[in-house]
Amino acid sequence: MSVACVLDETMAAAVRELRVGEDQYRYVGDTAFNLADSLRDPMSEAMAVLDDDRVVGFYRLDFAPNAVAGRPMHAPSVGLRAFVIEHDQQGRGLGTQAMVACCADLRRRHPDRALLVLTVNCNNHPAIAAYRKVGFVDTGELYQGGSAGPQHLMYFPLH
């Protein structure tokens, strides 16, 4: 069972070692850089995905008002960035479990937030399908600021 938790220093080294397949790197970038960036930003929380107390993934929660979409959403939101599951752990349902755990965690720790918002590259079909499976809704809007091309803007209602 996958669990999402606020990253502590004992998990940081394991997060820095996470790798994805070469075809995924253009979508998620360098995990060590994303970790360092989230730890520097007071509007972010670095999160670890655990499976039996082993770090298997990472993501960043971004609480800046214009996070992810480049503009405010219609309700108080939090952005999801840099979501990654270790390459050799993919295909086991850990990503889906991590998103369910993420949403439960947000409801508990940040009940003022109504939406979890993310962008996903239009060509990243497995990720789009995975987010839809969890219950994310595609807004129909494309975010053009992605380094790997246009991205779908999606959200998950937390209330």
> Residue 146 has what pLDDT?
67
Distance CA 150, CA 142 (A): 6
Average pLDDT (36-44) is 96
> Residue 97 has what pLDDT?
93
Strand partners, 142: 152
Distance CA 119, CA 79 (A): 9
For the chain, give every domain's residue range.
2-157
**154 neighbors 114 (Cβ within 8 angstroms):** no
Q: Which of 149, 58, 158, 61 is nearest to 103 (CA)?
A: 158
Average pLDDT (12-21) is 93
> Residue 136 has what pLDDT?
97
> Residue 76 has what pLDDT?
95
Distance CA 121, CA 128 (A): 8
> Residue 72 has what pLDDT?
86
Options 3.40.50.2000, 3.40.630.30, 3.80.30.20, 1.10.10.10; which CATH number does 2-157 get?
Answer: 3.40.630.30
**What residues have CB less than 8 Å from 155, skipping those under 6 apart?**
73, 77, 115, 116, 117, 118, 136, 137, 139
Distance CA 156, CA 131 (A): 9
Torsion angle of the four alpha carbons 159, 96, 6, 14, in this order, in degrees rounded to the nearest 10: -170
Q: Is the pLDDT of residue 40 over 70?
A: yes
In this prediction the pTM is: 0.92
Residue range 113-145, pLDDT digits in tens? 999 999 999 999 989 999 999 999 999 988 787
> Residue 1 has what pLDDT?
63
* Top mean-pLDDT range of 4-8, 83-87, 125-129, 142-146: 83-87
pLDDT band at 71 (very low <50, low <70, confident <90, very high): confident
Angle between helices 94-109 and 125-134 (to 10 degrees): 50
Q: Which of 60, 43, 49, 62 is nearest to 11 (CA)?
A: 49
